[in-house]
Structure 1
Amino acid sequence: MSILQPAPGVSWSGDGGEHTASWFSASGAAAPKKVVAVNDSLTADDAHRLAAHGTAMLWQGDYHNARQLLSAMARRLPTFARAKDEDVAKAFYRYRQGRAHRARMLGLVLIPLVPGPAVALRRAPDIAQAWMSAAGAVEEPTVTPLQDVLGAVGAYEWRRNGLFVQELDAKIHPHYGTFAPIRSEYLALVAETALPVVAGQPAPLAFDIGTGTGVLAAILAKRGVQQVVATDSEPRAVACAEENLHALGLDNAVTVVQGDMFPPGRAPLVVCNPPWLPGTANTLLDNAVYDPKSRMLRAFLAGLGQHLDAGGEGWLIISDLAEHLGLRSRADLLAWIAQAGLEVLGRVDTTAAHPKAMDASDPFYAARAHEVTSMWRLGIKS
């Protein structure tokens, strides 16, 4: 896969001439209009001032000094402080605005890439495998945010080392841009809830909608579901799920299909773990957390009846954090279920066990401390 897509490049002055290069941004950000060449003499204060005026800085010094500059810039950016008695939904919106502003500012520190791929800076590490895994080949001189390179390297370490999943007694290896299943409580819900019974036997077929790493499809197959069809709209996720399922020896039990939402046909069990918070995704990983206007959640509920066998169950795995943050109400969720001609057969709840739920310094601690993750067992209303 080549990163070179039809898009404006970047240009800058330096060494007595004008220079141009291709542009790459993992978030899809537009190429900066104003770029200045900088080196190790640039101070963090000056870098902050340039970024505040929308000027991008193409680093031409030492790679490790560029990383230190980025860290120093980050320390100069304001941290979020929630106003006393501020409405929680407004506060969360303001928090996300601040995070987006922070990402834009830090994303203006750029570094050069050359075919290899390699970073064309002194003391730069070997990023070839990490960058190829994240963005593909570099076929000509390219400029990219330093943050994107750091993200690719960090993601490659996650992929290489893997994440142990107790419910599988094995590791899952998330690819770049695919959300790692770090919250085990929702995995346990799928591993422990009784499967629907068909003709006296556990469901022989299941659909896993939005499979990501393939972890839920793998858990279902390990539990004895004879055939699982897992879907995802993202090619990265499809490749990730296929690789994980092959490593787990589940190729014959799970078929991964690229597509939006449901595969053709019906199944006695349809599982979906959509993004839990309404909101706009600003990064690739945000796609696993934020669901614009609850679009995927509503699409799952609206289409479930057309893909569920009579007497079958749809398992919706979702947190109520959005309710505690004032982003979506329980009444909204119940109304969407009813409007889809579905009924609630039961619900299995588990409390949040992640570190933020226990961090009293978090500005949204009150919401996170009361978070409950639920598996809603849904059926077609008779």
Structure 2
Amino acid sequence: MTQSATLQWEEGGQICSAHWHSENGIVPHKKIQIADDTLTADIAYRLACEGTAMLYRGDFQNARQLLQALVRRVDKPSKKSTRADRVTKEKTKSPLDAFNLHRLAQSQRARILGMILIQVNADHSISLRRAPDVAQACLEAYGAQENAYVISLRELLGVISAHEWRKTGVQVLTRDDEEVRIHPHYGVFSPVRSEYISLVLKAPIPQAIKDGSIAFDIGTGTGVLAVIMALRDIQKIIATDLSDRAIACAKENIDHLGLNSQIEIQKANLFPDGKAALIVCNPPWLPARPSSLLEHAVYDPESQMLKGFLSGLKDHLLPNGEGWLILSDLAEQVGLRTREELLNWIEKAGLKVIARLDTKPTHNKAFDKEDALHAARSKEVTSLWRLTQK
């Protein structure tokens, strides 16, 4: 947890300060108003839109209700825009226009909803009436602290939610219709999209692996794909990631499942040393700039990780080995990348495609007609590209 930033405000006729923390890199707010249970949702919404943050000193549950009221106001369609007008505008927008407007709306929404602030004590307790015990959740997310700090209520609720996911885990289907639980940590993308896992379960294991070689899992995150490969009887897997949170998460999941003898976790930028008969990578799918911590698992600026994986794959593959690239074509559907560009990068990397396994997404947004990107999501295909050296 970085505590170099300081937040200042006036309270009780005095200038107060505390460490400011934002996982999304938001700079300390300049305008801060003390808020309590007398603050109405309409006034809070106006203040937030004007750029004034509200440090809450009332009842914690009332603060949550206030945030929910802001959500309703942010998400409420404009009265000036009828449904017919909105449908007409949607039809005239290109997929890329729709994506850019969606990202802009997301950014504006996050800015407004991030204006309710909560002060947390150094022991991760909160000195508000009816405040929940968030000490363990905050300890998991931020580590031990020496000083009090201020965060947005929205971020705090995300920390609490991540703690619950970590406790209960996510059910993941493995071989023979068995299920295991993967426990995501705060800041590590949860494997809730099962379609890409099903592709790794179905793809034929290369003969070179069956002859006793090893596999790499590049950008392992929670470790879910390394776990799937281990349960498919691959005996030696090296999984890499650059994120300390991801490494800790993957190690905990692998230890919990008793797979330490098969899976080794290393901190590395893409590839570990050496070569492997199977190299699997599920990079972020959209070449755009992430605006939050969790978005790093979805957004890959200028396709840096994708290009890095492809350009380095040939040098790390054993003879007759395969690289499995798991990628959604949503970037193609919204106009951020073309299929020709992807095939060009594969060609320039000295690789060839020997097969491709496709599946349709099963997540809720693919079927939500009210979603801003429904036109693209409804056509989305997730693929496992089987790549070899030319």
Q: TM-score, with normalisation over the residues of structure 2?
A: 0.94
2:276 maps to 1:248: no
Query: Partners of 2:144 and 2:9 in 1: how far apart?
Result: 23
Matches within 5 A, 1:110-149: 110-149=117-156
Question: How far 1:241 moved relative to its partner?
Answer: 0.3
Question: How far 1:128 moved relative to its partner?
Answer: 0.4
Query: Partners of 1:103 and 1:203 in 2: how far apart?
Result: 49
Query: Partners of 1:188 and 1:253 in 2: how far apart?
Result: 21
Query: Partners of 2:39 and 2:76 in 1: how far apart?
Result: 23
Question: How far 1:169 moved relative to its partner?
Answer: 2.1
Query: Partners of 2:365 and 2:8 in 1: how far apart?
Result: 42
Residue in 1 aligned with 2:275? 266
Question: How far 1:138 moved relative to its partner?
Answer: 3.1
Matches within 5 A, 1:92-241: 92-167=99-174, 169-198=179-208, 201=210, 204-241=213-250
| 1:174 partner amino acid | P
- Secondary structure of 1:119 counterpart: coil
Query: Partners of 2:10 and 2:361 in 1: how far apart?
Result: 52
| 1:235 partner amino acid | D
| 2:192 partner amino acid | I
1:5 to 3, 21, 28: 3
| 1:25 partner amino acid | S
- Secondary structure of 1:95 counterpart: helix
Query: Partners of 2:267 and 2:96 in 1: how far apart?
Result: 35
Unaligned runs of 5+ in 1: none
Pick the structure with more helix per residue. 2
- Secondary structure of 1:306 counterpart: helix
Query: Partners of 1:137 and 1:238 in 2: how far apart?
Result: 19
2:321 maps to 1:312: yes
Query: Partners of 1:283 and 1:203 in 2: how far apart?
Result: 41
Deviations 1:123-147 (A, max 9, x none): 1000000011111223222111111
Unaligned runs of 5+ in 2: 78-85
Query: Partners of 1:203 and 1:6 in 2: how far apart?
Result: 49
2:3 maps to 1:17: no
Work out whether residues 324 and 386 of structure 2, in 8 Å CA contact, stay in contact via their aligned partners in 1: yes
Query: Partners of 1:320 and 1:4 in 2: how far apart?
Result: 36
1:376 to 375, 381, 385: 385
Query: Partners of 2:90 and 2:173 in 1: how far apart?
Result: 40
Question: How far 1:319 moved relative to its partner?
Answer: 0.8
Query: Partners of 2:90 and 2:172 in 1: how far apart?
Result: 39
Work out whether residues 162 and 171 of structure 1, in 8 Å CA contact, stay in contact via their aligned partners in 2: yes
Aligned pair in 2 of structure 1 residues 185, 4: CA closer, same or farther (>3 Å)? closer
Question: How far 1:360 moved relative to its partner?
Answer: 2.4
Query: Partners of 2:374 and 2:111 in 1: how far apart?
Result: 26
Matches within 5 A, 1:229-378: 229-378=238-387
Work out whether residues 169 and 184 of structure 2, in 8 Å CA contact, stay in contact via their aligned partners in 1: yes
Q: Percent identity?
A: 49
Query: Partners of 2:371 and 2:36 in 1: how far apart?
Result: 37
- Secondary structure of 1:100 counterpart: helix
Work out whether residues 272 and 315 of structure 1, in 8 Å CA contact, stay in contact via their aligned partners in 2: yes
Aligned pair in 2 of structure 1 residues 163, 39: CA closer, same or farther (>3 Å)? same
How many residue pairs match? The answer is: 377
- Secondary structure of 1:290 counterpart: coil
Deviations 1:21-71 (A, max 9, x none): 111112121111121111111111111121122111101111011111111
CA RMSD of aligned residues (A): 1.5
| 1:53 partner amino acid | E
Question: How far 1:334 moved relative to its partner?
Answer: 0.2
- Secondary structure of 2:45 counterpart: helix
Query: Partners of 1:332 and 1:242 in 2: how far apart?
Result: 36
Query: Partners of 1:50 and 1:217 in 2: how far apart?
Result: 47
Deviations 1:267-324 (A, max 9, x none): 1110000011111111111011111111111110011011111211000001111111
Query: Partners of 2:116 and 2:351 in 1: how far apart?
Result: 50
Work out whether residues 63 and 124 of structure 1, in 8 Å CA contact, stay in contact via their aligned partners in 2: yes
Work out whether residues 102 and 372 of structure 2, in 8 Å CA contact, stay in contact via their aligned partners in 1: no
Residue in 1 aligned with 2:37? 40
Deviations 1:137-192 (A, max 9, x none): 23222111111110000000000001111116211000001111111111111112
| 1:295 partner amino acid | Q
Query: Partners of 1:352 and 1:12 in 2: how far apart?
Result: 47
Work out whether residues 10 and 35 of structure 1, in 8 Å CA contact, stay in contact via their aligned partners in 2: no
Query: Partners of 2:377 and 2:35 in 1: how far apart?
Result: 42
2:67 maps to 1:57: no
Which deviates more, 153-162 or 100-109?
100-109
